[in-house]
Amino acid sequence: MSLSREVSAKKNRFLTRPDTPAWLVQAGDLPNRLFITPAEKELIDLLRKHGELTKNELVNFTEHSRTKVTSSTDSLLKKKFIIENPSTEYSGGRRSRTYSLNSGLVYVAGVEIGATSIHLAVADFSRKIIAQHHEPALVREGPLKILGRVCELLEGLMQHHELNTSHLRGIGIGIPGPVDFSNGTVVSPPIMPGWDRYPIIETVQQWFPVASVVVDNDVNVMAIGEVSQGAGREINNLIFVKIGTGIGAGIICNGVIYRGSNGCAGDIGHINVDKNGPLCHCGNKGCLEAMAGGAAIAERAKAAALDGKSAILLSYYERNGGVLSAEDVGNAAREGDVVSNQIIRESGQMIGDVLASLVNFYNPDMIVIGGGVSRLGDLLLSSIRQTVLGRSLPLATRDLQIIFSQIGQDAGILGAVNLAIDYIFTVETGAAVDV
């Protein structure tokens, strides 16, 4: 057998998730991986979802025999991936011993790189956040500076909490641009000069060589956070809509993220709303984000202030030294400003119109609204909700929930932590298959 055939045979003994990028199954990467069998992976996923389960519950949740579940739990206990909790007394009798994840097994990091900030967290294996840090940073300053800062902060955070960096086995990173998930690079990002196809994974792995690094679009990461630890925990089909300076959506289909063929599914910010609308940074006119995003809200408020239509907005404008933000518009609306109220309502209607089409097309159980502009509050949400309910098919909206993110500003870091954990295991399928 030639060397290359040996390598491919070796690779075929291992399966990660079906959507695992090629770089994660390279032979050279294998020594750093945590190996489990398919049945063990199933049990790990159940414990991730439910926290603590008895052996009977594990048997009921899977299609495996009790013997198979026993051998798998024994193996996981031996590898220290899970722990056994003692049986407990309760009024109805005695609850059997339960199993849960060994929270101290490994550490993972969740990193959310925004247009103007870095937010990062270190979590244990049970996804409990141990430490986090947030600071302003301009993504347009380039990958070298931003990724260097991310690694420096991560190392500092771990050292400060006396955590061994060699136990950091997974790093999930959310990026505010289109990500080709198959190789973890950003492709032609509009607001990120210098990042186009930059080797993010290799750069971060130079600092943390034993960690699996996974990169995804920021909105996908937030959607993963919401279904893993937020409002969508029991939801199969969900759309997470991030309304910030831009607008984007993350799609959860049958419980997992749907990225599309090239990783850019859900880029709803560039759906056309008005052919004669303002120019978008993508080069087209009247895109949803150019009409209803945070920058558009601020721009319309500025025009109203300078036209003398709102004394409150003008006072904010003057107080800020000639600028207005979407947040100012929200505050002005809360103070009773009619113009601000109108701008937010119209923005909600435009977003609602696009979401109504998505609801008719995709029939989700839940739409979750997150991102900075969602802090504009109930006025925005009620306007979105009213438009979606008014314009979608009754059957599609019968059980549809439209809510704000339950994990708010932590959706990004929690999603990145969960994304990282998804890829720290390599599932060993057994006998090598020659090809």
Residues engaged in binding Zn ion (CB under 5 A):
270, 280, 282, 284, 287
CB of 294 to Zn ion, least distance (A): 15
CB of 72 to Zn ion, least distance (A): 49
Output 176 or 232, the one with its CB closest to Zn ion. 176
Output 138 or 282, the one with its CB closest to Zn ion. 282
Output 284 or 320, the one with its CB closest to Zn ion. 284
Rounded Cα gap, residues 168 and 421, in angstroms:
11
Q: Are strands 98-101 and 129-136 parallel, antiparallel or unpaired?
A: unpaired
Please tell me whether residue 230 adopts helix, strand or coil conformation. Answer: coil
DSSP 57-113: HHHHHSSS-HHHHHHHHHHHHHTTSEEEEPPEEETTEEEPPEEEE-TTS-EEEEEEE
Output 287 or 424, the one with its CB closest to Zn ion. 287
Q: Closest Cα to residue 297, out of 197, 210, 374, 405?
A: 374
Strand locations in 246-405 (E): 247-253, 256-258, 366-370, 401-404
Partner residues linked to 287 by β-bridges: 272
Partner residues linked to 257 by β-bridges: 252
* Cα 379-413-377 angle, rounded to 5 deg: 5
DSSP 273-289: S-TTSPBPTTS-BSBHH
CB of 252 to Zn ion, least distance (A): 24
Output 184 or 286, the one with its CB closest to Zn ion. 286
Output 82 or 280, the one with its CB closest to Zn ion. 280
Rounded Cα gap, residues 350 and 344, in angstroms:
10
CB of 257 to Zn ion, least distance (A): 23
CB of 282 to Zn ion, least distance (A): 3
Rounded Cα gap, residues 401 and 383, in angstroms:
14
The crossing angle, in degrees rounded to 10, of helices 200-207 and 143-160 is 30
Output 239 or 287, the one with its CB closest to Zn ion. 287
Q: How far is CA 129 from CA 108, 114, 121, 125, 171, in A?
A: 9, 20, 7, 10, 13
Q: Which amino acid belongs to residue 28? A: G
CB of 187 to Zn ion, least distance (A): 16
Output 270 or 300, the one with its CB closest to Zn ion. 270
Cβ atoms < 10 Å from Cβ of 21: 17
Token look-up 């063990």 returns 40
Output 242 or 270, the one with its CB closest to Zn ion. 270
CB of 270 to Zn ion, least distance (A): 4
CB of 351 to Zn ion, least distance (A): 14
CB of 188 to Zn ion, least distance (A): 13
Q: What are phi and psi of 282, to 5 degrees?
A: -80, -10
Taking a C-beta distance cutoff of 8 angstroms, is the pair 163, 103 a contact?
no
Output 110 or 246, the one with its CB closest to Zn ion. 246
Q: Closest Cα to residue 110, out of 267, 263, 228?
A: 228
The gap between the terminal CA atoms of the chain, to the nearest Å, is: 11
CB of 431 to Zn ion, least distance (A): 51
Output 295 or 301, the one with its CB closest to Zn ion. 295
